Amino acid sequence: MKTIIVNHLTRMRRGFICVAGIAIGTKQHIRAVSRTGNLSINLLARNAGPFDIGNVVQLGRIIHHPDPPHTEDYLFEPSQCLIKGVARAETFWEVLERTSKNRLKEIFGDDLKHIGQSVYGTDPGCGKASLGCLRLNNKPSLYVDTGRSGKSQVRLSFTDGKLHVNAGITDIRFYEIDNYSPKEEIINDIKAQIKASEFIILSLGLSRPFASSPQFDPVNWLQVNNIHFRENPVWQLGKN
């Protein structure tokens, strides 16, 4: 059995989430993948489930099911999950720091490639990892972008000192649960925290492969899964 501290909690298509954490006692990332399909928002702590940022969760019996670059995938049975508590702020930050790297390619390897307009990703089947934590030494820039479809997405512009990235943020705390529209009040608060915070760590991930348009090949896109501040690392989605 594996017990994780949840540090990746992201929105997927409406009604579903993705969850990953760092295994207690190691630096290993584990993505919890249901044996029976996608993870429902009913598994969020706000809906009486086990998952929220900083929650310590025992996953029960798991089976490693890597699918590069998603080498961290483990099959589990959600009904077997047991929440053991919430990590103390100091403990959670210490785990993040111990896991963090200074460069993107330290996390994802040389298969991480520039695709265009500060966007990065990997080809399907390539790469040594799809999850990691990046320690920022420069302030990122947060904004809301409304694409051609009219759907709004929160995005982050940041650098590791070598690569300059503009990536979508899938942090579920930034979006309304019912329609996944950005929470304006939260966005403004996060902008203020970015300005004031002394240390910021990003939980990063690579998406499942998809093509941005029919004429292009599928890509595992680099995305910002969650933002963590040393001053308030265990910021939770909370209860209903």
- Rounded to the nearest 10°, the torsion over CA 181, 187, 190, 194 is 110
Q: Which domains does the chain have, with CATH numbers?
A: 3-91 (2.40.50), 101-229 (2.40.50)
- Cα distance between residue 94 and residue 230, in whole Å: 9
Name residue, tokens 């998952």.
Answer: 51
* pLDDT tens, the chain, 240 aa long: 799 999 999 998 888 999 999 999 888 999 999 988 899 999 999 999 999 999 999 999 999 999 999 999 999 999 999 999 999 999 999 999 999 999 999 999 999 999 988 999 999 999 999 999 999 999 999 999 886 666 789 999 999 999 999 999 999 999 998 778 999 999 999 999 999 999 999 999 999 999 888 888 999 999 999 999 999 999 998 765
> What pLDDT sits at residue 240?
56
Q: How many other CB atoms are found less than 10 A from the CB of residue 225?
A: 25
According to the model, what pLDDT value does residue 214 have?
85
- The SS3 of residue 230 is coil
Coil vs helix vs strand at 31? strand
pLDDT the model gives residue 149: 64
pTM recorded for the entire structure? 0.95
